[in-house]
Amino acid sequence: MNLEDIQELIKFVAKSGATEVDLEFDGIKISIKSPAKKKRGEVDKPTTIIQQAAPTQLVEDPTVSVETSVVPVKAEVIEEDNSNYITIKSSMIGTFYRSSSPDKPSFVNVGDSIKEGDAICIIEAMKLFNEIESEVSGTIVKVLVDDATPIEFDHPLFLVDPS
């Protein structure tokens, strides 16, 4: 095996997406390692910088008195009434995609009318892209998952108004 063959092997491994390959033949051992590729839509996590204000020094004035009182505040959670909507759930584990490729429009958006059999998203599982079809007819009210998000079986994907 000459240098050109080794370079071709390295290019092949890089294109295949493998992160590590170990080969041994004719008494020669070759180990090729590369960093893992980012998945579609994955980005580096941004660094968050937290800035704190410099502490201020208080000067006490004996002629001023300050009274404080604690007033309880009720925290109210407002829940949306989703009882009249149908939830479309994932039929498999994988990565949720709203479109067939990054440069294509989403299959469905909020406000779109769908009917049974319409393609609504893609779920990628084990390098296979599975087009998911709607089992209900209605209007998309809410998309419950961000694009390129890992999902589990039975994970809620869309809210649909059947009326």
Q: Domains along the chain?
A: 3-33 (no CATH), 86-161 (2.40.50.100)
Centroid of chain to Cα 94: 11
Residues 6+ positions from 140 with CB-CB distance below 8 Å: 108, 109, 110, 111, 112, 113, 114, 158, 159, 160
pLDDT tens, N- to C-terminus, the chain (163 residues): 676 777 777 777 777 667 777 777 677 777 777 665 555 555 554 444 444 444 555 555 555 554 544 444 444 444 556 778 999 999 999 999 999 988 999 999 999 999 999 999 999 999 899 999 999 999 999 999 999 999 999 999 999 999 8
Token reading at 129? 């892209």
- Pairwise CA distance, residues 35 & 13, whole Å: 12
